[in-house]
Structure 1
Amino acid sequence: MGSVETPSLHRAEAPLPVLSKLGNPNVPEGLDVVKTASTWLESFAKYAELGDADGVLSLLVNSSFTSGIFKPEVADIPEPTSSDVAVYWRDVLALTWDFRTFESTPKIKQFLADRLAEAKITGVQLQKDAPPQLQRPYPDLAWIQVVFTFETKVGLCSGIARLIPFPGPNKDTLDWKACAVFTGLDDLKGFPEKVGSLRNREPNHGKWEEARRKEMSFEGGDPTVLIIGGGQSGLEVAARLKALDISTLVVEKNKRIGDNWRTRYEALCLHDPVWYDHMPYIPFPPTWPVYTPAKKLANWLEYYAEAMELNVWTSSTVLSATQDAETRIWFVKVKQSDGTERVFKVKHVVIAIGFKGGRGYIPTYPGMDTFKGQILHSTQHDRALDHAGKKVVVVGSCTSAHDISVDYADHGVDVTMFQRSSTYVMSTKNGIPLLLGSLYSEHGPSTELADKINASFPNLFMAGMAHRVTKLIAEADKETLDGLHKRGFRTNDGYKDCGLILMVWAKAGGYYMDVGGSQYIIDGKIKLKNDSQIQSFTPDGLKFEDGSTLLADVVVFCTGLADPRHAIRSIFGDEVAERSKPVWGINEEGEINGSWRDLGYKGMWYMMGNLAMCRFYSKHLALQIKAMEEGIFDGNRYTAAE
């Protein structure tokens, strides 16, 4: 392979180890990838097992580069130079008890000095079902992916390193250094999940039903963990905790498990493919459609709770939760379906009430009280036919706005979409294969391995890759995007020009994964207004800042969800809500705020995410709780400075 010239880089691409930055090394086609990876890993194992931080550092790229991409005080990404090559180490509970990404040699050096020897690493070896691979995601990028396993004093762990080539001291030799290392906790030593060969092997003749009734009722005492919310996030954490033999109760306000999906608007369908959405322990069957209708998912969640024997109280509400200042025990008052109240004393409360608490956000405008029509949030909307013969304005231009507008158009309802700001648009047809296809597809790796590989890319590093794939998707979607622009629909390239993935992490919204709605706008089946902002409501509709008006009988706000701390406030009170950590959004290290770990109070946790996020991170939340319950957690999270 000869040298590859790289055109000028976008600022998001600054961390990428493009070959021109590395001295245009010649990577031979016949490279012995396994030997190269094994040689590097043998050295890594030697230094890691000795606790030799400097030795481990010698195997990594030496770089002081920091991108600053996620620093709130920095509006723009620094201009890349011809020599910037970043180095990263992401750790998920393996060497720390937190979710951390360390960028630059000085930060990694400090991290290793503080944590490497303490971890007592042993047993480093290649993962047998994931042989090293030479990967060429783009012509100017090349790395060897090395998947390995190891042990610490408390856990069974896995790691992934990406080795990049530098010209060696002699002609035709290469010096391979890691530009990114991932270490993650898989299991706690001595406390394996009760699955597979560790499942219950005793026959049960006539006693199962009564035993389940007693377990569900908690007649004999309190659970260790109480989960607020029985959607996918609550159920997946409950399943993980059950596998770790931790007594858990899920409290769900709805009448049935799955009602959080079952009662949403009729047209709702998942836009993530089935391979990405499997749940822990029970994957979707091979006959399952690629895109799951919401009501079908609702029924699956109900089945999942029953099949996993999860303890769920439906039609029940958590009224309050307070913590004893000395014991740190939580007193949680629950109102049951029959109206009786019970106070549980639990060590852990997991808040699993959906993205941002699941509460719809409706902005306030003058004149709303004078409007003669109906004002709804998308979470309150049901069917398009409920508004047959009426004029509808849908405020918003992202996923729910498109779904609902298409449903109205399909049923002959006069619908206008009001676009407040630009939207990132990506077709699922072209975007999903480019974003997920190598990991989550019919012929991809196992879900467990795919999740680890996916998690091994720090978001700081992912930004450059995301920018590149965003351009490829836009090229594939050019006809659709051009059609939208001709209609006046405003689009953007996503957060920091990096498309969908960082939009999800940073904002949990602001995008539309096009499954056909864009064509409705192009064809005029969905009317569009976006030339002025809403000034006020009138008795008959909306008035805009430029003086124009829009008649409406119904206004549906597809304007996202409120801050999850509003929901926390209603249960835990003002003080806890104000002092709890922010939930969602990206911190300076590129890690997600608040989710999957404590919220600043002992035993108070927040679980949220799509099905894939919940599948992966539910295990890490459960492992943290198990480590605390078994006295394994030493109290030192090694958390990033607030």
Structure 2
Amino acid sequence: MLDRTKDISVSAQAWFDAFERMLGEPEPHALSSLFLADSFWRDVLALSWNLQTLAVRDEIAQALAMLAGEAAPTNFEIAQNRAPPRWVTRAGTSTIEAIFNFETAIGRGSGIVRLVPDTADGDRLKAWTLLTALDELRGFEEQLGTSRPRGQAYSRDFRGPNWLDQRNAARDYADRDPAVLVVGGGQAGLSIAARLKQLNVDTLIADRAMRIGDNWRKRYHALTLHNQVQVNHLPYMPFPPSWPTYIPKDKLANWFESYVEAMELNFWTGTEFEGGVYDEAKGHWTVTLRRADGSKRTMHPRHVVMATGVSGIANMPDIPTLADFKGTLLHSSRYEDGENWTGKRAIVIGTGNSGHDIAQDLYSSGAEVTLVQRSPTLVTNIEPSAQLAYATYNEGTLEDNDLIAASMPTPLARKTHVMLTEQSKELDKELLDGLQRVGFKLDFGEASTGWQFKYLTRGGGYYFNVGCSNLIIEGAIKLKQFSDIESFVTEGARMKDGSIIPADLIVLSTGYKPQEYLVRKLFGDAIADRVGPVWGFGDGFELRNMYARTKQPGLWFIAGSLAQCRINSKYLALQIKAIEEGILGREVSTA
């Protein structure tokens, strides 16, 4: 009997051979026969130059046949340096999962096919999902490993500028403008700048904070990441193996500083991006940067990448009578530490992660805390429930797991998260029952898709429990519903039953406005209207206007978790490089 792993590999390669052969045929019907009736193809730049997901085999076959002529995909073969083909369970379905490599007319790619026996066709193996992703542009490979720059080792000019002189000149931009201006120096900005650096695209990061990493460092004192270290590496430089499972904010902030230095990224701190105007004829922006000393610099980058994150402009809701409160009023983005509120009374409005964490921090500092719930909230224990979504990252290589993450079409990801949400509800039953007993209103996401899709659609609305829920159940932190508040008064909040909740501090943990608000502020109505909504899905399977060309040439967006930024910065950088080299047009393809 043949080894089971070998049988799988033979079957997978046979599918690739048939797929490549049928891609060259003019009639897509044969190609359609390789896919299940309900199947998905996600293409990330490789054939379409878009990030797009197609469903149903006939539509997939027609698109593949149309795009294959120009893209000329070939040499589909099982990747020898990756996880071998194997049986796995994805979205509740047992499937053969095979990682493969291929080439196109302009570069090299990798992908994943998932093969399932088709019971309607004699159990013939057919594709359930297919990912084709561009990895590199031929002739413009990343400057890594054997392709790394040689530096001055063999061509030293003892009278010329040394490495430090060159770095200072590169960072100063005294005699040139960058090709790419990245607005924002968090994980999104660092990831895309590092990718572009390795593709030899001149890139400047501008951030209004006075120190690299302050977007994390300046947040509330007790903050740590809510997902585990193995998920959160930045491109090229993994965290040291000695690091804790959950990274403290200051440790991450300091790493950002080290990362910028080690990756030789050009970064201007204390720099406010004041907006820009695009010149269609010249193909570049005119932007204004205001430095910390008040001076201004006008630049003409060909690309502006907005890396300001999902959490951009603080959402300050118009709450009637709140102006009557005479104590301290803060948005959660301005809250730093509970030590100043020892022995004081605080009201925290909002029950997402920030609201819960701030309430717990205040309580731990000796404040009397009331948490006010505005709308139902998803709650899940940080372990094990919140980590279920990252199970694949507990084994295998980061490269393989990132490809697996990129390969899951949104409808199947939704199905997966419905299953994970049900599993979480069972694991967290005691906690959830306790919250309901004290009047906390629970929510499990649209169609029970859980916290991940809350994040992908609205950027929040959930809490990973690290103890605050237990304090609420015990009554140590009081819980009130916003709907029970009649008005705010000088000394706090008056409830509808006539009682007063006294407060010295009110914290509004009310989230952030969508990114399109920032686009409108910085670029004006015409560009904001042209681009449309940013983040969320709308009617499609891809995040809107993220990691890809927008309807405004030269304007790009990157945001999300460290993992999302690490994965998608690669594809965003490839598009910018392709435009810079004349391989790809600036306009969004309608194909």
CA deviation digits over 1:202-247, x for unaligned, max 9? 3457701111111111122111011111111111111000000000
Q: After TM superposition, list the pairs within 5 Å mapping 1:30-45 onto structure 2.
A: 32-45=7-20
Residue aligning to 2:564: 613
Matched, 1:48 2:23: yes
1:231, 1:260 within 8 Å by CA — same for their partners in 2?
yes
Deviation at 1:492, TM superposition (A): 1.8
Distance 1:546 1:361 in 2: 29
User: Which of the numbers 77, 93, 98 marks the counterpart of 1:146?
Assistant: 98
Indicate the larger mover: 520-529 or 619-628: 520-529
Deviation at 1:639, TM superposition (A): 4.9
Residue aligning to 2:85: 132
Distance 1:313 1:377 in 2: 27
Q: Per the alignment, in what secondary structure is the counterpart of residue 483 of structure 2?
A: coil
Residue aligning to 1:77: none
User: Which of the numbers 555, 560, 569 marks the counterpart of 2:511?
Assistant: 560
Residue aligning to 2:407: 456
Q: Per the alignment, in what secondary structure is the counterpart of residue 190 of structure 1?
A: coil
- Cα gap change, 1:49 to 1:534, in 2 (>3 Å): farther
Q: After TM superposition, list the pairs within 5 Å mapping 1:403-422 onto structure 2.
A: 403-422=357-376
User: Which of the numbers 364, 370, 385 marks the counterpart of 2:318?
Assistant: 364
Residue aligning to 1:22: none
Q: Per the alignment, in what secondary structure is the counterpart of residue 190 of structure 2?
A: helix
Deviation at 1:578, TM superposition (A): 3.1
> Structure 1 residue runs of 4+, over 6 Å off?
28-31
1:581, 1:599 within 8 Å by CA — same for their partners in 2?
no
Q: After TM superposition, list the pairs within 5 Å mapping 1:375-386 onto structure 2.
A: 375-386=329-340
Matched, 1:59 2:34: yes
Matched, 1:594 2:545: yes
Gaps of 5+ in 2: none
- Cα gap change, 1:249 to 1:51, in 2 (>3 Å): farther
Matched, 1:246 2:195: no
1:276, 1:612 within 8 Å by CA — same for their partners in 2?
yes
Distance 1:350 1:105 in 2: 35
Matched, 1:310 2:265: yes
Q: After TM superposition, list the pairs within 5 Å mapping 1:53-452 onto structure 2.
A: 53-62=28-37, 86-128=38-80, 129-136=82-89, 141-167=93-119, 174-203=123-152, 207-357=162-312, 359-437=313-391, 439-441=392-394, 444-452=395-403
Deviation at 1:30, TM superposition (A): 9.1
- Cα gap change, 1:546 to 1:41, in 2 (>3 Å): farther
Amino acid paired to 2:393: Y
- Cα gap change, 1:236 to 1:531, in 2 (>3 Å): closer
Distance 1:372 1:146 in 2: 63
Distance 2:452 2:514 in 1: 21
Amino acid paired to 2:299: F
Q: Per the alignment, in what secondary structure is the counterpart of residue 90 of structure 1?
A: strand
Distance 2:349 2:550 in 1: 33
Q: After TM superposition, list the pairs within 5 Å mapping 1:631-642 onto structure 2.
A: 631-634=582-585, 637-639=588-590
Distance 1:435 1:235 in 2: 25
Distance 2:61 2:21 in 1: 17
CA deviation digits over 1:460-485, x for unaligned, max 9? 12222211121112111111111212
Deviation at 1:556, TM superposition (A): 0.4
Deviation at 1:165, TM superposition (A): 1.4
Amino acid paired to 1:194: Q
Q: Per the alignment, in what secondary structure is the counterpart of residue 96 of structure 1?
A: coil
Amino acid paired to 2:205: V
Matched, 1:482 2:433: yes
What do you get for the CA RMSD once the two structures are aligned?
2.1
Residue aligning to 1:68: none
Q: How many residues align?
A: 582
Deviation at 1:566, TM superposition (A): 2.3
Distance 1:327 1:334 in 2: 20
- Cα gap change, 1:545 to 1:362, in 2 (>3 Å): farther
CA deviation digits over 1:174-195, x for unaligned, max 9? 3111111111111111110001
Distance 1:136 1:570 in 2: 46
Percent of aligned pairs with the same amino acid: 39
CA deviation digits over 1:584-611, x for unaligned, max 9? 1113232111111233211011111110
- Cα gap change, 1:533 to 1:225, in 2 (>3 Å): farther
User: Which of the numbers 434, 442, 459 marks the counterpart of 1:508?
Assistant: 459
Distance 1:50 1:218 in 2: 52
Q: TM-score, normalised by structure 1?
A: 0.87
1:51, 1:120 within 8 Å by CA — same for their partners in 2?
no
Distance 2:34 2:114 in 1: 11
Q: TM-score, normalised by structure 2?
A: 0.94
Deviation at 1:252, TM superposition (A): 1.1
Deviation at 1:580, TM superposition (A): 2.2
Distance 1:520 1:94 in 2: 51
Residue aligning to 2:577: 626
Distance 1:282 1:573 in 2: 37
Q: Per the alignment, in what secondary structure is the counterpart of residue 134 of structure 1?
A: strand
CA deviation digits over 1:396-423, x for unaligned, max 9? 1110011111111111210011111111
Residue aligning to 2:554: 603
Indicate the larger mover: 344-353 or 526-535: 526-535
CA deviation digits over 1:508-539, x for unaligned, max 9? 11111222222111222211112725443211
Deviation at 1:552, TM superposition (A): 1.9
Distance 1:317 1:293 in 2: 27
Distance 1:454 1:447 in 2: 10
- Cα gap change, 1:294 to 1:52, in 2 (>3 Å): farther
Distance 1:137 1:579 in 2: 38
1:394, 1:416 within 8 Å by CA — same for their partners in 2?
yes
Gaps of 5+ in 1: 1-27, 63-85
1:396, 1:557 within 8 Å by CA — same for their partners in 2?
yes
CA deviation digits over 1:111-150, x for unaligned, max 9? 2243122211111100112211112458x73111121111
